[in-house]
Every structure is written in structure tokens, then in C-alpha cells.
Chain A
Amino acid sequence: MRPSLVLLQRSTWKGPYFTAFPNLADALKNGTPIYTRARSCTIVPNFVGIKFMVHNGIDYVPVPITEEMVGYKLGEFSVTRKKFTYKASRNR
């Protein structure tokens, strides 16, 4: 679906970039969330079903992994920007 990912990004011999989580099996069994700051970690198929808490610079955003998210990065699901809202100034 995303040919540019394959063609332009990374050498195939390296494989996808991902971080090893030591508590992966535990999280899958007990459903405990994994707190991580590894936003650049690729979501690999054995992450499916795990709840990650991905750092966005201030706090940790819950990201439950589904099958469709495989191949994307963890950071893509944890927004780092605040949405702009217009605040009316009070003292005028």
C-alpha cells in the first residue's frame, strides 16, 4: 500500500527499525500498558493487542495497537502539537 516506504526509506538488509521491549510478553498476557519514549519504533506484527503509552513530550498518550497499525511508527499515533483554540482576552 505504501510503496514509498519500501522504495525510498531504508535499506532492506537492515529491516525495519524497532526497539526491543523486555516486558512485551508480560504486557500481552496481563494487559499492562508499556510506557515508552521510543516514538520512532516501527510497529511490528507481534505488538498487536498491546497497549502502549507513547510519550509526546509532556505526557504519555495511550495507543492500543491494532492490526492495521503494523508498519507505521509509534509516534504517529501520539500527537505532539496542541490544537489551536482562540482564547478571548478578558481585560479590554
Chain B
Amino acid sequence: MFLLGHNLPDTKLVRIALTSFYGISHHISSRLLARLQIHQTCLVNELTEPQITALSAYLSSPNTTPAPPPTPLNTPTPPPFSLVASSSSSSSSSPKTIKVLYEAQRWIDKRPDPLSDLKIETELRKELLANIAHLRQIGTYRGKRHAGGFPVRGQRTKTNGHTAGRLNKIDRRGFSTYAGPTDSPILSMLSRSRI
């Protein structure tokens, strides 16, 4: 199945196939499936049409897609401390433990949603290049190492450092391997109509 110019193999798990997008890790992928209520063991060819539409709608503009409202079952309710205090002698868990657990749950709920300000593909690559350009422009050591094709984080250069020589350039290419079916305009048109 083609989705936004990426070929997702039909027999793969959606969770795995989505990681072919630049900027989608395994974690982000499973969070995204959870948000769209697609189960984790779903294969690509098992996706229904509304699910595909939802996926492509999110991936084409992750920032503007509104988050679904929280499920009512998941909203935290403060533990009834009076009840907890009265029944502490009978139950095994003390009120202190319950309070700690409650605080932990609150902390988990307050964590920022990784899907709310996700950058993928071109946007993420542009950000990467902009960060390096900023380092170069203000004249830091790190910027100079990037421009010179050397390792940036203090690695040795007597031997090794060939990856840095391959990647770090004055104008670093933000696009890694850009050959393949995504190049052809016909296929990108096909993917837009999701055939």
C-alpha cells in the first residue's frame, strides 16, 4: 500500500511499516496507532479505508490534526482520602502508598503528548539542517566540526571517523537515500489517490 509516497509492505505490521517514515520511531508509531484506535498487531493489508484516511490525515499534517478528546474512563479521579485513611488498618496498602501511586498516575497523565508537536520527513530534515547552520553561523566548535567533515562529539580522528567524513559536509545533505519509487511523479500521484 502506498501512503504519502512511502511503500508500506502489505504483510508487515502497521506498527513496523510506519517506521519507514523519517522521524517515526517504534514508540511514536505505537502511540499513533493507540490514538487512532488501531490494534498493535494489525497488518497493513488489514487496515480499513477510514483507518487509512485517518493515518494519512495525521501524517500529512501532524501539528494541525487535533487530538481526540480523552476517554472518560481514563480521567484521573482523586482517591477519597477520608475513605483511605479510615480503611487503612484493614487493607494491605497504606494511604501513603496509594497517594504515591496517585501522584505517579498524575505525572504520567501530565506528560507531553509526543504526537502533538511531531515533525516528520522534510520538516524534520529542515530542522536538522537549520540547527547545524545555526551552530556554524555563530561560530561554535561544533559548527566547525560539522563543516570540516570531522566527528563532532570529541571522537578520535587518527583512525575511524569515516561516518563523519561521509555525512558531515559544508552543505550537509538532509536526505539520506532518496532513490526509489517515491521519486517518480506517477507513483506519487497514485499514492495521493491511495490505490
| Interface residues of A, Cβ cutoff 8 Å to B | 1, 66, 68-69, 72, 75-77, 79
Contact = CB atoms under 8 A, between A and B. Distances in A.
A68 B141 CA distance: 15
- Name A's interface SS: helix
B138 A66 contact: yes
Interface of B: 131, 134, 137-142, 144
Contacts of A68: 134, 137-138
Contacts of A76: 140-142
B131 A1 contact: yes
A52 B131 CA distance: 25
A77 B131 contact: no
17 contacts: A1-B131, A66-B138, A68-B134, A68-B137, A69-B138, A72-B138, A72-B140, A75-B141, A76-B140, A76-B141, A76-B142, A77-B138, A77-B139, A77-B140, A77-B141, A79-B141, A79-B144
